[in-house]
Structure 1
Amino acid sequence: MSIQLISPDTVLTPKGHYSPGVIHNGIVYVSGQLPLNKEGKAILDSIEAQVTQCMHNIALILDASGSDFQHILKVSIFISDISFWPKVNETFAQIMGNHKPARIVVPCKEFNYGASVEIECIAAVK
């Protein structure tokens, strides 16, 4: 079975040696997304704005992969401070609606660009 690399022009081109998404056997693996817009500007207004931007980037990668939020199997959310958890959880729930994929929230020390969150996911292709 082949491996398909996904790098849509709707998201920031990675500076590192990785693809924004990879498809294998009908599964999409989305690399960790920081709250950066297409131009590379960090969206740091609030933790809610950061989660929203990360999820927007994920939506664009999933769309380019033939998937969407309703097909997400697992989400990993990394946050720089565990006190952000309630707002992260609330924002994530608003974005995801009734779909509740498997999820982990991991407190971490720090992220590039002054971000407080990074989100990755695994999804099924529609």
Structure 2
Amino acid sequence: MDITRVLSDRACAFPAGLFHHASIHNGTVYTTGQIGGDVTGRLAGSEVSAQAEQLFANLSAILQSANSSLEHVLSASIFLTNTADYTAFNEAYVR
């Protein structure tokens, strides 16, 4: 089985060293779950909107490292701990 592992130096590396950011198999990129943390794992503020922006920056960096981009995403599963954050998160998701 031909699988390429991807680790971006521009995305959150938390928990550091325990996983790759993505795997590529048969031309499809499968990414790991992401949080709104910077490369050190520190959250991008306490507001969900700032964390969402960081999350998408991380995902974009990972996809670029895999020679892909956000425009090629087929499916995304989003998990929020508080449904009251839906609107703020969705605004970042739409951008």
Q: TM-score, normalised by structure 2?
A: 0.88
1:17-50 C-alpha deviation (Å, 9 max, x unpaired):
3211110011111101111101222113311101
> For 1:10 and 1:91, how far apart are their aligned partners in 2?
19
Higher relative contact order (CA 8 A, sep 6+): 1
* Structure 1 residue ranges (4+ consecutive) displaced by more than 4 angstroms after TM superposition: none
CA contact (8 A) 2:14 2:41 kept: no
> For 1:29 and 1:5, how far apart are their aligned partners in 2?
10
- Percent identity, aligned pairs only, is 29
Equivalent residue pairs, number: 94
State the match for 1:10 in structure 2: 10
Q: Greater share of strand residues, 1 or 2?
A: 1
Q: TM-score, normalised by structure 1?
A: 0.68
Relative to structure 1, the CA distance from residue 14 to residue 3 in structure 2 (aligned partners, 3 Å threshold; closer, same or farther) is farther
CA contact (8 A) 1:14 1:20 kept: no
Stretches of structure 1 that go unaligned for 5 or more consecutive residues are 95-126
